[in-house]
Amino acid sequence: MNHFIVPSDIKGRTPSPHPGGRAVTISNITAGYGERAAISDITLELAAGSLTAIFGPNGGGKSTLLRCIAGLMRPWSGAIEVLNARVGVHAARVAYVPQADEVDWSFPIAVDEVVAMGRTQRIGPLGRMGVADRAAVAEALGRVDMADLASRQIGELSGGQRRRVFIARALAADPEIYLLDEPVTGVDPVTQEKIMNVLDAEAARGRTVVATTHDLACAAQRFNEVVGLAGRVMVHGPAQLVLNREVLEKTYSAHLIPLADGSVVLLDDPHHPLGSDAGRE
């Protein structure tokens, strides 16, 4: 369960102007698993060079939306364009970082082998790692301070180091679009800072970054745009303009507890009894 104290006066970072066109255009998509729709009628535009956090309660469809943009799930209806083409056409220019619990950490693979996977599409089938590929892997490892641990088996790493390996793999691909599922969940503040600095730098040079997050404070302070998702898009815009108590109440409904000083506590676990009690008050 995650508890966050959300100050009544949220200070967001200044949105950076993004000169390019649209990186992702989502039109009226509905998607889900089996019979149940996880996200309904989503329409969203993400500008090239934007640094966007998708936040919302568990089960709100954050990962589903990200998977649709990554071309890993086909929406039941609606359309997605990525880099001005149907989703999947420019897949080689997209890097996806899965949630930490979707990775088999006992897999006998070393840090540099994982990062080298980022080069797969640049090398192409039949090809082998060349000098430029090795340089890209080394540079990516250096940018996340993992060069010293290049030969470690991934299971021997701490949670924060594990996340940095996958960020490095994405960097090594040198993509136009980064799609990251919970990149800063469960990592220490220092690692979170390092990861966000890297993502910030990528956005600053025109790359589009989209990350799901449970960490509302991080979303507000380190991303220039936020998307509140609770099955539908509840809000989309620059954090300091759109993140207010009303929006949070709408997005998290049952998971917010108002405090006397005007701030609210967010209980982001729909299965926890406290969360549902708070919703009834």
Partner 1 sequence: MNLIDLLLAPLGYDFFVRALVASALVGVACAVVGSFVVLKGMSFIGDAVSHAAFPGIVIAYLLGLPIILGGAVAAIGTALGIGGLTRRSGLRADSIIGVLFAGMFALGVALFSSIPNYVGDLFAFLFGDVLGISVSDMIALSVLVAALLLVIRALWKELLFATFDPLGAGAAGLPVRRLDNLLLILIAVTIVISLQAVGIVLVVAMITTPAATAQLLVKRFSQMIGVAALIGVTAAVAGLYLSFALDLASGASIVLFETSLFLIVLLVTSVRGRRTA
Residues of this chain that bind partner 1 (CB under 8 A): 67, 70-72, 88, 91-92, 94-98, 102-104, 107-110, 113-114, 116-117, 120-121, 123, 125-126, 151-153, 156, 166, 169, 173, 179
Closer residue to partner 1, CB minimum distance, 165 or 278: 165
Closer residue to partner 1, CB minimum distance, 116 or 242: 116
Work out how close the CB of 8 gets to partner 1 at its nearest, in angstroms, rounded to a whole number.
Answer: 38
Closer residue to partner 1, CB minimum distance, 11 or 76: 76
Work out how close the CB of 108 gets to partner 1 at its nearest, in angstroms, rounded to a whole number.
Answer: 5
HEC per residue, the chain: CCEEEECCCCCCCCCCCCCCCEEEEEEEEEEEECCEEEEEEEEEEEECCCEEEEECCCCCCHHHHHHHHCCCCCCCEEEEEECCEECCCCHHHEEEECCHHHCCCCCCCEHHHHHHHCCHHHHCCCCCCCHHHHHHHHHHHHHCCCHHHCCCEHHHCCHHHHHHHHHHHHHHHCCCEEEEECCCCCCCHHHHHHHHHHHHHHHHCCCEEEEECCCHHHHHHHCCEEEEECCCEEEEECHHHHCCHHHHHHHHHHHEEECCCCCEEEECCCCCHHHHHHHHC
Structural Rg of the chain based on CA atoms = 19
Closer residue to partner 1, CB minimum distance, 110 or 217: 110
Work out how close the CB of 158 gets to partner 1 at its nearest, in angstroms, rounded to a whole number.
Answer: 16
Closer residue to partner 1, CB minimum distance, 14 or 106: 106
Work out how close the CB of 148 gets to partner 1 at its nearest, in angstroms, rounded to a whole number.
Answer: 15
Work out how close the CB of 266 gets to partner 1 at its nearest, in angstroms, rounded to a whole number.
Answer: 28
Closer residue to partner 1, CB minimum distance, 91 or 254: 91
Work out how close the CB of 118 gets to partner 1 at its nearest, in angstroms, rounded to a whole number.
Answer: 8
